């Protein structure tokens, strides 16, 4: 999430009740997760496993619960519960603001675009030119739709990330990590009916130009889909995944989180992708292997009864 204007880090430290260590003259430009941080960003960390990674990341300001050395030019914001500090910042800079109109007064809709009955367009949504938004589509706050985009009935864009902070020392183990990111749909994208595209936790979920998505597809938070991809019905993609240009995922493919599918890859129906895979190849199976190898394996499996009979017959 980018702030509307840079914010003095001293103000932020006071607002969340943190001790400021290091650069006290800086200005924060946004808040982000570790895998998306840029210079000027605030990031939080509350687990020793990630201390060093966060401190040495591109982030300039680190909300942390451990006193440690800080690189030159950066600052630590030291307090006991970084996660609660993150929530306080998100709720301050991007608070929940209900809109009771079907099209919010703050939404911007380009020339030639059509929004059909019962569609809901939230606060600060931007829709480009020559788009068709079919009935019962929901586009939630701050999402961006490019030009010449078609969204079929019942699709939801910008639902909250399925993302929770787990602590076993509290009655409710899983506490929701508020989503302050967006969904960005680029030009000439087509989305089928009943799709669900989650907003980024703090950055953007992106659907690249020219991509076509069938009915009942789910795309998780912070996933970046490249240009001219093709996803068939019931594909499910977990969060923070990168899918490069021209990838084809056939029906009911499941894709795990934080991996990369390379350019021009094709994944056959009902396959499961648990790790990153190279581009330019076909894949099949769960977990996937190259399709030609999987087909050989299936041929040998079919031959097992005959081989067994031959062995036992001796």
**Residue numbers in the chain where pLDDT is lower than 50:** none
Under DSSP, the state recorded for 277 is B
Residue 295 phi/psi, 5° resolution?
Answer: -65, -40
The position carrying tokens 């840079």 is: 6
- Report the SS3 class of residue 161: coil
Q: Could you tell me the pTM of the whole model?
A: 0.91
Contact between 162 and 144 (Cβ < 8 Å): no
The pLDDT value given to residue 120: 98
The active-site residue out of 35, 134, 218, 221 is 221
Element (H, E) at 120: strand 120-121
Domains and CATH numbers, the chain: 2-93 (3.40.1390.10), 108-289 (2.160.10.10)
The pLDDT value given to residue 121: 98
The position carrying tokens 């799709």 is: 195
CA–CA dist 181, 32 (Å, integer): 9
134 catalytic? Reply is no
The pLDDT value given to residue 287: 93
CA–CA dist 216, 234 (Å, integer): 5
Residue 45 pairs with which residues in a beta bridge? 64
């Amino acid at each position: 999430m980018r702030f509307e204007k840079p914010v003095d880090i001293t103000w932020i430290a006071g607002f969340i009740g943190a001790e400021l260590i290091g650069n006290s003259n800086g200005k924060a430009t946004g808040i982000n997760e570790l895998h998306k941080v840029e210079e000027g960003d605030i990031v939080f960390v509350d687990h020793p496993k990630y201390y060093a990674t966060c401190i040495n990341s591109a982030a300039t300001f680190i909300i942390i619960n451990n006193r440690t050395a800080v690189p030159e030019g950066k600052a630590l914001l030291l307090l006991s519960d970084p996660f609660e500090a993150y929530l306080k910042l998100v709720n301050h800079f991007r608070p929940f603001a209900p809109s009771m109109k079907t099209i919010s007064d703050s939404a911007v809709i380009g020339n030639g675009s059509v929004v059909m009955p019962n569609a809901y367009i939230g606060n600060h949504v931007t829709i480009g030119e020559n788009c068709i938004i079919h009935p019962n589509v929901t586009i939630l706050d701050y999402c961006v739709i490019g030009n010449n985009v078609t969204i079929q009935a019942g699709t939801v864009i910008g639902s909250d990330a399925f993302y929770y902070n787990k602590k076993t020392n509290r009655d409710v183990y899983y506490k929701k990590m508020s989503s302050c990111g967006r969904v960005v749909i680029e030009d000439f994208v087509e989305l089928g009916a009943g799709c669900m595209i989650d907003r980024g936790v703090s950055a953007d979920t992106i659907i690249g130009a020219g991509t076509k998505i069938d009915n009942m597809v789910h795309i998780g938070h912070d996933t970046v889909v490249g240009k001219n991809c093709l996803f068939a019905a019931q594909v499910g993609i977990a969060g923070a995944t990168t899918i490069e240009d021209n990838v084809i995922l056939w029906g009911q493919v499941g894709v795990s989180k934080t991996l990369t599918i390379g350019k021009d890859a094709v994944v056959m129906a009902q396959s499961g992708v648990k790790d990153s895979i190279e581009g330019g190849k076909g894949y099949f199976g769960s977990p996937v292997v190259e399709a030609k190898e999987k087909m050989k394996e299936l041929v040998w499996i079919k031959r097992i009864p005959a081989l067994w009979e031959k062995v036992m017959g001796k």
